Amino acid sequence: MESHVLAKWIRSRAEKREEAAGQHCTGCRSTIAGTTDDQLRASGGTFLAGAGWFCGPRCERQYRLRFRIQPAATPSAGSDAAAPTPRTPTPRPAPLVSDPPETPTPARRSAADELAEALRARRRSGSGG
Ligand SMILES: [Zn+2]
């Protein structure tokens, strides 16, 4: 079948990956030539803390716009981004499942009444002559 083709493809990809010594642009995934920061910067790469390397300031800008990342030059902003901790609903104690108290329900009673009445009527018509 084509399994060997797939294996070859995977291997070729892996080899390519190893070959690429440079960084990958976080924005467009293109390879930035260079192994050291200086080399990466020389080839136009820019580094964004928390995001990684970008092939250029354009990609960095796009990435910032997309994820609303404030430029690093901003003065210390207040830590108002603290997300409120989600309140965990306290689990209610399971109600003790016991046999329901034997209280005659109206439906039951009426049914019994109906039955008794039916019996009575039957008896009357049956025994009557
Ligand atoms: Zn890029």
Domain extents for the chain? 23-73
Question: Ligand 1 centre and the CA of 89: distance in Å?
Answer: 45
Question: Ligand 1 centre and the CA of 33: distance in Å?
Answer: 12
The identity of residue 75, as a single letter, is P
Tens digits of residue pLDDT in 9-41: 777 766 554 444 678 999 999 999 999 999 999
Question: Ligand 1 centre and the CA of 77: distance in Å?
Answer: 28
Q: What is the mean pLDDT of residues 47-71?
A: 91
Distance CA 35, CA 118 (A): 98
pTM of the model: 0.41
Q: Can you give the three-state secondary structure of the chain, one letter per residue?
A: CCHHHHHHHHHHHHHHHHHCCCEECCCCCCEECCCCHHHHHHCCCEEECCCEEECCHHHHHHHHHHHCCCCCCCCCCCCCCCCCCCCCCCCCCCCCCCCCCCCCCHHHHHHHHHHHHHHHHHHHHHHCC
Question: Ligand 1 centre and the CA of 32: distance in Å?
Answer: 8
